[in-house]
Chains A and B, each alone.
Chain A
Amino acid sequence: NAGVTQTPKFRILKIGQSMTLQCAQDMNHNYMYWYRQDPGMGLKLIYYSVGAGITDKGEVPNGYNVSRSTTEDFPLRLELAAPSQTSVYFCASSYSQSPLHFGNGTRLTVT
């Protein structure tokens, strides 16, 4: 089992560019999440999904979009990158209310 796999590991974007952060899990978890981590600020929930075809906003969804067409994949889309989106992004998955399993993160810099 690979667990939760995130790609890319690092990315530098210019202001206004767009990109998709990929997340895949092979544990057949129904719930998936996207968090961002800023220094000294802990993790903030961006979006989550309780199953294929269902997504919901978290605490900080502005500037992001998600889709969940399969159980395994939960990509996060940034349409118009802004410096405020410089952060480390973590994808996680869980089976219903069980503990979350995290990927190793994507470090994004917007300049």
Chain B
Amino acid sequence: GEDVEQSLFLSVREGDSSVINCTYTDSSSTYLYWYKQEPGAGLQLLTYIFSNMDMKQDQRLTVLLNKKDKHLSLRIADTQTGDSAIYFCADRLRDSGGGADGLTFGKGTHLIIQP
């Protein structure tokens, strides 16, 4: 089955850029997502990219997709203390059976902000 991998931790200084990386295995991915989870809360959709795009920018967030290498990254510019959270990469495969298999999630990257 599909496998989505992320580093477990990333530590950055406040004001620097954070880059969170993700790799996936299935080339039939249709959409790839980034979710943010703050302590004790649910998952909040940050952004997503369609598989035929290379880049998507949304304010401080930049998503880069390298389909050849099956690599997705999320860059957060000017990282603030409020960005401290767990960031999940998730992959939606092409719907082959008319149903919805949900998303395959990575284990999440804990973003730690140093003052």
Which of B31, B41, B42, B45 is within 8 Å of A97, CB to CB? B31
Q: What bracket does the count of chain A residues touching chain B fall in?
A: 20 to 34
**A79 at interface by CB-CB < 8 Å:** no
Contact A43 B42 (CB under 8 A): no
A61 at the interface (CB under 8 A from B): no
Indicate if A94 sits at the interface (CB-CB under 8 A): yes
Q: Kindly identify, within residues 40 to 73 of chain A, every residue whose CB is under 8 Å from any CB belonging to chain B.
A: 40-43, 45, 48, 50, 56, 58-59
Q: Are B102 and A50 in contact (CB under 8 A)?
A: no
Between A48, A90, A97, A99, the greatest number of chain B beta carbons within 10 A of the residue's beta carbon is seen for A99
Which of B33, B95, B100, B101 interacts with A99 by CB under 8 Å?
Answer: B33
Q: Pick the contact of A40 from B8, B99, B100 — CB < 8 Å?
A: B8
Q: Which residue of B lies closest to A58 (CB)?
A: B102
**Complex: how many Å from CA A95 to CA B69?**
30
Q: Given known contacts A40-B107, A42-B106, A42-B108, is B101 in contact with A90 (CB within 8 Å)?
A: no
Which residues of chain B come closer than 8 Å to A102, judged between CB atoms? 35, 42-44
A10 to chain B minimum Cβ distance, whole angstroms, is 10
A35 within 8 A of B: yes
